[in-house]
Structure 1
Amino acid sequence: MKRILLAMALLSAVPVFAQKKPKDNTPKSFDLLIGTYTTGESKGIYVYRFYTETGATAYLNEVDGIDNPSYLCVAANNHFVYSVNEVGTERKGSVSSFSFDPKEGRIALLNKQPSTGTGPCYISIDKAQKHVFVANYASGALSVLPIAKDGTLLPVVQTIQDAGTGPNKARQEGPHVHTAVLSPDEKYLLYTDLGTDKLNIYRYKPSQPQPLTPADPSVVKVLGGHGPRHIDFTPDRKFMYLITEMGGVIYVYDYNKGEPKQLEAISIVADGFKGAVGAADIHVSPDGKFLYATNRGDANEIVVFAINPDTGSLTFVERKPSMGKTPRNFVIDPTGNFLLVANQMSDDIYVYKRDKATGKLTLTRNKISVGNPSCLKFTPAE
């Protein structure tokens, strides 16, 4: 008995330590980069600090004298930024590279290269920082530019020129390449052609002199006159979503490892709506539970859908006014707490709080005023 009591006494003397919770390594703040059209009050690219706990923002820096940096991408190392220079059809477009200091938000022009097309409107980059991919809207061509070790852009090494027309004679008189997105595993590049109602699929091999070759199949068609625009994937890579600008329809696909199979198509337009449709951007929430889309034209709204994790199908949740005119682009912060929408024609960016359980949006008091905002990108602040 004494031995048992002694053992119990020894045990009771052993200090008990509370288990430590795993550290949350998600940054509490991010740099928000804003691409713009410089035809109005804007002069170039703006950098703000964004605080994920409150949705507040603080101005950091800007780079001026940049022609229409209407779309941006950020290198994986967080130290380089790339933009299109979306000039009109009267002269060839170009793309620019910038150095970026994520601690201070400083951004500075490095160099510029021709895009070998007109009206470049979209740019993306691979994780290894080997190439950028540029959608030349006006000329209907996709361009590939290598990246040097110092972050500068080298001349175009590959141009893929689309051809064809669509049934909408005003908008589809020729090809109009609108987006260029790498698949999550970066084995494929997918790019939309609004003018020919096609999603084009190419294999990507960065070590090759011309890194893109047609996949098999290489084309996915949507209904004539719908005008495919932007795409996004669920985090588990199972499903892909494509929004059509003129049709105002979201196409749902089983991604199927580079061979997309259509599952359904659902309209973002409200029943009975008679105004102009101008669907723009589309993003899946970081947790993969909800999909958001913007509709410009006369609607000026954000539409929310719930995603079925097993089938990828969409269920309507709500539609919210964008509070401004022409919600061209929007972004969900990496924590999933907030959604920011850029209203191009009313010179403002509004911040919405996201309910992670329901997907619904609540307007906050946070707002950024900047001329003709057209692209929002987050990158970790250091």
Structure 2
Amino acid sequence: MGERVFWVGTYTGAMGAGEGVYRVRRGADGALEGPELAGAAASPSYLAVRPGGRVLYAVREEDAGGVLAYAVEGGRLREIGRREAGALPCHLSLSPGGGHLLVADYGSGTVRAVPLGPDGAFTGEPDVVEGHGSGPREDRQDGPHAHMTAPAPDGTILSTDLGADLVRSFRIEDGRLRLTGETRLPAGCGPRHLAVHPSGHVFVLTELAATVLVLRPAGGADGYARLEPVAESPATAAGSDGESLAGAIKLGGDGRHVYTSTRGADVVTTHRVLDEGAALKPVADIASGGHWPRDLHVDGAWMHVANERSGLVATFRIGADGLPAPAGALEVPSPVCVVPA
């Protein structure tokens, strides 16, 4: 893949130097150009694009948070709807079939499903499932903290809860979001993000323990409602320093590699997939191209990493061996999330 357009979500106001959602372009040589402010918003830290690219969704990561829907009109964004969310919404994904927008509210620990019309616009009020539980880390696990949602192959929606050390499983039935199961993870690990491998295994990145857990669906009638831990490995090749915080996890396009970001250590780590997805092995760390890497996006032979505190989106070229090599960086104020337009 060569030339392509991306949206970048940022932190604004007291949380950062951004002003909203930015548009950047990648040339055939991998260099990023821009940024152009496409739509002003309060801390649109995480973004999701509706298939077809005509609607963009963004969280409004505030104490009294919300979600926004934009019509994409050339290089600009026009707001077409907004809904309230819980405190500090931090992640978005689309349900299988695109009928709902799934929102993880970190501050309130809630997960909500916002109904969408055929054109991608909001059509009703969200259905909300409350979180519960806590963990041993009093500074970060005083209560539930939903951090991500992602669909599984059978239509189950998986959600990480950093505060309660859980992966929760949901189904949307008759327009309602229904909790179908919970998988307890090691105490104090703080699950943050996850990715579902083509093998069906679920890779869970833990922020507080800085590990990657491999979970296997129980199968049968339970499907992804119940998951079984089968392996654990460090989030970095160098191992945990006890202070760094794991950030994001993404699959490589070849199915043989997985990539994670770690803040503090400021590295991106390449992991090799072993045993047909049943295990991972970290093989190499590389400097993230800035300070405090959050989300990363893998796009074929390219990778883009949002380095929040240094205001840089770094680009890497992924070699045939799966290892990324630096290929430049673009200044973007307080970048958090990079998604293709």
TM range (shorter): over 0.9
- Supply the distance in 2 between the matched residues of 1:180 and 1:312 (Cα, whole angstroms): 21
Residues 340 and 128 (structure 1), Cα distance of their counterparts in 2 relative to 1, 3 Å cut: same
Is 1:213 aligned to 2:178, yes or no? yes
Contact 1:75 1:127 in 2 (8 A): no
Which shows bigger deviation, 135-144 or 250-259? 250-259
CA contact (8 A) 2:96 2:151 kept: no
* Structure 2 match to 1:181: 150
Cα deviation 1:257-294 (Å, max 9, x = unaligned):
41422210111245575451210100110121101111
Counterpart among 78, 94, 109 of residue 53 in structure 2: 78
Contact 1:42/1:372 (<8 A) preserved: yes
Matches within 5 A, 1:1-382: 28-39=2-13, 40-51=16-27, 53-59=28-34, 61-88=36-63, 92-101=64-73, 104-115=74-85, 117-185=86-154, 187-205=155-173, 208-210=174-176, 212-215=177-180, 218-234=181-197, 236-255=198-217, 256=219, 257-258=223-224, 259-269=226-236, 271=238, 274=241, 276-296=243-263, 298-308=264-274, 310-333=276-299, 336-356=300-320, 358-364=321-327, 366-379=328-341
Checking the alignment, whether the CA contact within 8 Å between 1:36 and 1:44 is kept in structure 2 is yes
In 1, Cα distance between the equivalents of 2:318 and 2:301?
5
Identity among equivalent pairs (%): 26
- Decide whether aligned partners of structure 1 residues 355 and 224 sit closer, same or farther in structure 2, where only a CA change above 3 A counts: same
Cα drift, residue 146 of structure 1: 0.8
RMSD across aligned C-alpha pairs, in angstroms?
1.8
The amino acid of 1:124's aligned partner reads: S
Q: TM-score, normalised by structure 1?
A: 0.83
Which amino acid in 2 is paired with 1:299?
A
- After superposition, the Cα gap between the structure-2 partners of 1:367 and 1:112, relative to the gap in structure 1 and judged at 3 Å, is same
Question: Whose radius of gyration is greater, 1 or 2?
Answer: 1
TM-score of the superposed pair, with normalisation by structure 2: 0.92
Q: Tell me the amino acid that sits aligned with residue 9 of structure 2.
A: G
Stretches (4+) displaced over 6 A: none
> Cα offset for 1:254?
2.4
Per the alignment, in what secondary structure is the counterpart of residue 276 of structure 2?
A: coil
SS in 2 for 1:121: strand
Where does structure 1 lack aligned partners over 5 or more consecutive residues?
A: 1-26
